Amino acid sequence: MTRIHALGHYQPEQVLTNDELATMVDTDDTWIRQRTGIATRHIAKEESVADLATAAAGKALAASGLAPEQIGQVIVATCSARDRVPSNAARVAGRLGIPDAVTFDLNNGCAGFTTALATADHTVRAGAASHALVIGAERMSEVTDWTDRSSCVLLGDGAGAAIVSHDGPADGIGPVVWGSDPSRAGAVRLEGAWQPRFGQEGQTVFRWATTELAPIARLACERAGVAPSELAGIVTHQANLRIIESLARQLKAPDAVVATDVVHSGNTSAASVPLALAKLVERREIPIGAPVLLFAFGGGLAWAGQVIRCP
């Protein structure tokens, strides 16, 4: 069986406030907070996606107590990486001294980390690796259109990482619920070969997330054998505070700690779920072994989620 063995997270030092954004584009703190709930976001000056991923992964590996050679798989979930080959996962493995793991990047937009977590879970359950390193890392600031106030106020940079190990309880990582609605794939875009820019149909995404995703999240709980009311934590993609609050209300989990890292980190795409989860665990806001729903959604329009036991 499998479990999340250890977690790590990393964010760049530079913090961009709403007031600072107001000097760059026609906006203000009140406008941003009312529509998104975001107050600040972290921005990488020169760090690459591989740099962010390595920093988070190094912390997870150190916390796990495992030796680098025990890691049999490395996956980096990202949609903002500039380079294609070698993969960011290969770069992370090289920097951390992981000698012969299978390494690859995975792009499922904002649902990338939970998709990668399920992939690693399946790998470990099948016996193809004893331990896997799963990372969500994004440098969204590099693909931001800083003249578009509807999107530039949302995005931030960061990374989160998890070690998936084979020696867990039967319900350490629950069955994944994943899928997509490709008929609306264009509602979130990051297109262009040389200078891609993030764009989205904000209202379309908001309506989809607040009206159609709660039943899918409940299905993830059902497949894990956990009632939503039994959840100790809910960590959704940190897209927008209004979406997070809507999903939490619909799930009816009164005792769950709901991650709201979006307030301080903005939307970090595939990094948002592991980043928020790692912070909650670091602060010990969720008891060890308690059930936590991870649920991410975004470009594609894709979703992926599972219930895990808090490490």
What span, in angstroms and rounded, lies between the C-alpha atoms of 137 and 105? 10
**Residues 206, 303, 288: CA angle, nearest 5 degrees:** 105
Instruction: Write phi, then psi, for 24 (nearest 5 degrees).
Output: -105, -25
Instruction: Write phi, then psi, for 119 (nearest 5 degrees).
Output: -60, -45
Cβ atoms of 100 and 40 within 8 Å: the answer is: no
Is 110 assigned a catalytic role?
yes
Is 108 assigned a catalytic role?
no
Which residue in 18, 237, 240, 310 is the catalytic one?
237
What span, in angstroms and rounded, lies between the C-alpha atoms of 115 and 81? 17
Instruction: Write phi, then psi, for 145 (nearest 5 degrees).
Output: -90, 100
Which residue in 131, 166, 267, 310 is the catalytic one?
267
Is 152 assigned a catalytic role?
no
Which residue in 79, 110, 152, 221 is the catalytic one?
110
Asked if residue 86 has a cis previous peptide bond (ω within 30° of 0), the answer is yes
Reading the block at residue 67, the tokens are: 């030796």
Query: Which residues are designated catalytic?
Result: 110, 237, 267
